[in-house]
């Protein structure tokens, strides 16, 4: 019978057999799949695993801490955090075009991850001579949080492959040859969540809704700046808090909050005129993100979100609701 306990036990044994005493590298995004995959490998081979987390500064409130503190506390994983916030901000300076932003974020991410991966590999190379058993073997494996639907979609394939042949794998060093270890490749999303809970992965990560790799960078319509990120991060945190409080997290696939940074409108607050920015709420219901419908969030909840955001977030004086399905709209605005 399928229990998360049995599955964990079986996968742990498979990973141990596969990896032996080699070292393993894993890129953490803060999402469900990479987190559960890392936790499984950690359970199997302990400190033979090193995780790398690139903080690009485009994450939502609390997300970096969730990885850096909660996840590490819960799993005991060896984590390298790269603070690349300044680097991404400079690279994005002056850029408003959505595709351009996506390209820049993707490119910078690869560069930062490559460098971190090289550093990890170098740190663990040639350590065999001193006889330290844990470090006798160079880094050879890369963990991927590939799920069963991804495997089916790409027409199957063996567990080990040259990294170049896998495009779903963001940010891979081209000149480093890894064998891929994909412990979740027989699981569906709901099973991955059960396994994550079994392994003690924090619930905030296990139940996380989808969040795009380019993060808040593609939820600011206009140039991305530190100030605008701070505004959006606050508005997003309020919307998430109220949707969670209303018990809507499982009903809503995700709810992007978008800052229209190049738009201003007139408002009135207290006894003064304001001239601030609108934010858009984009709650959607979906099965697979290929199509989506806008979620009919109860008016009282929308009202609470709207009044909190306009009261608590400086520079935002208007909250609007996106009532477009996909198609014709995409889920994200950029």
| Rama region for 156: left / alpha / beta (φ>0; ψ in -120 to 50; rest) | left
Beta strands 257-260 and 272-281, pairing class: antiparallel
CA distance 251 to 248: 5
* Displacement of CA 317 from its chain's centroid (Å): 29
Nearer to ligand XMP, 45 or 147 (CB): 147
Residue 29 annotated in ligand binding: yes
Nearer to ligand XMP, 103 or 134 (CB): 103
Nearer to ligand XMP, 204 or 329 (CB): 329
Per-residue DSSP letter, 94: T
320 membership: H or E segment, kind and range: strand 316-321
CB of 113 to ligand XMP, least distance (A): 14
Residue 73 annotated in ligand binding: no
CA distance 258 to 84: 23
Q: Which two tokens stand for residue 67?
A: 């990885």
Binding site for ligand XMP (CB under 6 A): 210, 212-214, 254, 289, 326, 330-332
CB of 289 to ligand XMP, least distance (A): 4
Nearer to ligand XMP, 18 or 254 (CB): 254
Residue 286 annotated in ligand binding: no
Residue 158 annotated in ligand binding: no
Phi, psi torsion values for 128, nearest 5 degrees: -65, -30
CB of 210 to ligand XMP, least distance (A): 4
Residue 32 annotated in ligand binding: yes
Phi, psi torsion values for 145, nearest 5 degrees: -90, 40
CB of 30 to ligand XMP, least distance (A): 11
Residue 319 annotated in ligand binding: no
Nearer to ligand XMP, 101 or 124 (CB): 101
CB of 8 to ligand XMP, least distance (A): 26
Binding annotation for ATP: 29-35
């Amino acid at each position: 019978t399928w229990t998360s306990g049995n599955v964990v036990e079986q996968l742990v044994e498979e990973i141990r057999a596969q990896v032996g005493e080699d070292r393993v590298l894993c890129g953490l995004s803060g999402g469900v799949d990479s987190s559960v995959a890392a936790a499984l490998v950690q359970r199997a081979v302990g400190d033979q695993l090193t995780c790398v987390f690139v903080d690009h500064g485009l994450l939502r409130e609390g997300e970096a801490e969730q990885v850096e503190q909660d996840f590490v506390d819960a799993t005991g994983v060896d984590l390298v955090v790269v603070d690349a916030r300044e680097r991404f901000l400079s690279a994005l300076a002056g850029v408003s075009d959505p595709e351009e932003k996506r390209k820049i974020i993707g490119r910078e991410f690869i560069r930062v991850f490559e460098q971190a991966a090289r550093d990890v590999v170098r740190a663990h190379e040639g350590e065999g001579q001193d006889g330290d058993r844990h470090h006798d073997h160079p880094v050879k494996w890369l963990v991927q949080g590939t799920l069963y639907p991804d495997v089916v979609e790409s027409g199957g394939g063996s567990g080990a492959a040259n990294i170049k042949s896998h495009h779903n794998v963001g940010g891979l060093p081209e000149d480093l040859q890894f064998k891929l270890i994909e412990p979740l490749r027989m699981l569906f999303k709901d099973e991955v969540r059960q396994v994550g809970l079994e392994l003690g992965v924090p619930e905030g990560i296990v139940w996380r809704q989808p969040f795009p790799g380019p993060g808040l960078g593609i939820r600011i319509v206009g140039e991305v700046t530190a100030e605008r990120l701070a505004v959006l991060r606050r508005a997003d945190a309020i919307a998430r808090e109220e949707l969670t409080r209303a018990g809507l997290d499982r009903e809503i696939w995700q709810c992007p909050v978008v800052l229209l940074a190049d738009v201003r409108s007139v408002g009135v607050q207290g006894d003064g005129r304001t001239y601030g920015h609108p934010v858009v709420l984009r709650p959607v219901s979906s099965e697979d993100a290929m199509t989506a419908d806008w979620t009919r969030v109860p008016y009282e909840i929308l009202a609470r979100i709207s009044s909190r955001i306009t009261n608590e977030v400086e520079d935002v004086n208007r909250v609007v609701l996106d009532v477009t399905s996909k198609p014709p709209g995409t889920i994200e605005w950029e």
